[in-house]
Amino acid sequence: MKGLLAFAIAVSTVALVCAPATCEDDMPLIPRDVLFGNPDKAGVEISPDGAKLSYLAPVEGVLNVWVGPVDDPAAAKPVTHDKKRGIFNYFWAFTNRHIIYLQDKEGDENWRVYSVDLDSDEVKDLTPSVGVQARIQEVSRHFPEEILIALNDRIPQLHDIHRVNIGTGEKSLVMQNEGYIGYMTDEHYRVRLAVRISPQASMEYFLLDAEGKPEPFMTIGPEDILTTSAMAFDKSGDVMYMKDSRGRNTAALMKLDLTSMESTLVAEDPKVDIGGVMMHPTERTLQAYSTDYTRVAWHPLDEAVGADLDVLRTVADGDAWVVSRTLDDSVWMVAFTMDTGPVRYYRYDRESKQATFLFTNRRELEDQPLVRMYPVVIEARDGLELVSYLTLPPGTDPDGDGRPSQPVPLVLWVHGGPWARDSWGYNSVHQWMANRGYAALSVNYRGSTGYGKDFINAANGEWGRKMHDDLIDAVGWAVAEGIADEDKVAISGGSFGGYATLVGMTQTAKVFACGVDLVGISNLVTFMENMPPYWMPMLPLLRDRVGDHTTEEGKALLLERSPIAYVDRISKPLLIGQGANDPRVKRQESDQIVAAMQERDIPVTYVIYGDEGHGFARPENSTSFMAVAEAFLSAHLGGRFEPIGDDFEGASIEVPAGADQVPGLAEALAERAE
């Protein structure tokens, strides 16, 4: 991975290759490693006592945890020493001297939990078993030396709960899992609820007594299962906060008294589900909640917090998030997401009402020619509102109305999940596409989260059908609005987005000039048959919403919606990327469609990474794949591209098929092999 100095040099020396119709000589080409390399600082946290600040930052090109004085972030030093994959998930223990972080091996998602003693620099592997996945169950101020961890070391499908000492690693069994997808615990480390999915795809909650005996408590029907869930307990542990869509469309914020079973409405919105929630660190009272239709908005439930939110609205023109806070709630770490710049971090003192700027997460982005992201609402053919996000190439929208002066090539970038969503803010892919001369469009198709249960349930059984119709409708809208050149539209995405890409290349090949699939599903039958063992308790949910692979009729339906069944229809160029260790969408999903294409002499370029899983965590790998994708898109859409150069340095990239079909790829691989 290039260092920061190399980044700066690359900005001024990068070569420019472009088609005359899309190239603007005065528009700098943003280097890929600025867009997709490691951030300068990310994951900012304040210690519970407010004395220290921590963040993720590179050490010799690998993300590690840094810790320093809260009033002098520049004095921070690394406290972890990973040299390969990088650390992405960490938090402070309530001892104020321990950092806890999680890490898997080459993308296998068998997470291990580690603790770092800041006094002794000792790193302790708290879950040393091989081939076991650890999950953080609960962390409480009442037990600063211990945390609850869920482990599937007994049965791969089930996670038992253990109490673990973060200093010694000593652990004791708290709850043996007898068939549940998970448990809810309170801050007193009491296991309060057990949760499972019934064969009918309902969510069943069981209230546990002091001896751990389960009693039926609450059943959530299939129609509400993705929009209704328990969230947390109050200070007493006798009141549960939850999101609840039962009896309404959108998920409301509710309080449920576990003693009287009385339910109280706290907040609701007719258009969107309640999103994030702020809760006092010790009093565990609700302070604010967020909604997100096209942009995030925070709504106070506490008068004092409302005054703080009013102040934060004046600090920066972005969407604010309180990402960390002291135990006494006197100091907040606030991140502002922007669409035309990097994330801005502030330390906010609630008493003085002062916000102190700390740093951005990517300082080299601050001087780059970034462009606006426009929220747009597209109407699907059956009337559903599809909240979407559009970014246009610099210089193509002189009056700022979100429409280019003439149609441009477009890349439809499809989010994964599918039970997830796209949101407003800085998006590296959108900025990358726009800078290369393409419009970028991301669509919250039916099944995306945040817009109520009717919108989610409209996707049931519609993989490759109405979900794909939404994407085609969005392309049709972009063409009709004069945004997209209908002969130059690409489809791309990862996971479900990769599946959608393959559907686009097989079922609607006339719409797209090319496609880029990243860890996408090619065969819904083999996908369902080979899911990770710890997904098995969720199988009824997947069968209900995707299809049933256990019956011949169900298999036939799944195959009907699988791209592998229509390989003969692929007539446009296709690029496929895959992590060899992907536990979710296994390598065979890419292998089988590549093999089927090769058997029929259909060209395909296949890129594999031997040290990656579901997506690419190492920036060397991410940047190298984007280098290939950029050259591929330029060849078929006519946009600009930065030559591959040394972007394969440090990457585990292998190209078993189609290297000669991407400009410069075969040459870059040959040079790398020398």
Taking the whole predicted model, whether its pTM rises above 0.85 is answered as yes
Find the mean pLDDT for residues 355-361.
Answer: 97
pLDDT at 14 over 50: no
| Topology classification of domain 366-523+562-617 | Rossmann fold (3.40.50)
Q: According to the model, what pLDDT value does residue 7 have?
A: 23
| Residue 20: pLDDT over 80 | no
Same fold flag, 40-177 and 366-523+562-617: no
- Sequence-ordered list of residues with C-beta below 8 angstroms from that of 614, at least 6 positions apart, any chain: 107, 109, 495, 519, 579, 582, 583, 584, 585
DSSP 635: H
The pLDDT of residue 18 is 39
Give me the pLDDT at residue 83, please. Answer: 93
Beta bridge partners of 241: 232, 255
Flag the least confident range among 22-26, 145-149, 185-189, 429-433.
22-26
| Residue 19 scores a pLDDT above 80 | no
For 148-168, the pLDDT digits (tens) are 999 999 999 999 999 999 999
Average pLDDT of the chain, as a whole number = 94
Is residue 345 over pLDDT 70?
A: yes
pLDDT score of 27: 83
**Residue 587: band (very low, low, confident or very high) from pLDDT cuts 50, 70, 90:** very high
Instruction: Give backbone dihedrals phi and psi of 390, rounded to 5 degrees, phi first.
Output: -125, 135
Specify the pLDDT at position 575: 98
Cα distance between residue 87 and residue 93, in whole Å: 17
Of 5-14, 312-321, 558-567, least confident by mean pLDDT is 5-14
Question: How crowded is residue 644: how many other Cβ atoms within 10 Å of its Cβ?
Answer: 22
Token digits for 625? 């794949």
pLDDT score for 24: 53
CA atoms of 667 and 661, how far apart (whole Å)? 11
**Res 78 pLDDT > 90:** yes
Q: Which residues are catalytic?
A: 495, 582, 614
Quote the tokens at residue 396. Answer: 């193509």
Residue 620 C-beta-side C-alpha neighbours within 13 Å? 22
pLDDT of res. 673: 83
Task: Tell whether the model's pLDDT for residue 23 goes beyond 60.
Answer: no
Q: Where are the domains of the chain?
A: 40-177, 185-255, 275-361, 366-523+562-617
* Strand ranges for 122-238 from DSSP E: 123-125, 134-139, 146-155, 158-165, 171-175, 182-185, 191-197, 203-208, 214-220, 229-233
Q: What is the mean pLDDT of residues 96-117?
A: 96
CB 661 within 8 A of CB 573: yes
Task: Indicate the CATH number for domain 40-177.
Answer: 2.120.10.30
Nearest to 64 by CA among 98, 93, 40, 28: 40
In the three-class reduction of DSSP (H, G, I as helix; E, B as strand; rest coil), residue 619 is classed as helix
C-alpha 602/C-alpha 588 separation (Å) is: 18
Q: Which residues pair with 183 in a beta bridge?
A: 194
Hunting for tokens 């090949």 — which residue is that? 509
The answer to whether 404 touches 397, Cβ cutoff 8 Å, is yes
**Residue 527 amino acid letter:** F
Q: Are 382 and 472 in contact (CB under 8 A)?
A: no
At residue 25 the predicted structure's pLDDT band, cuts being 50, 70 and 90, is low
Average pLDDT score over residue span 413-435: 97
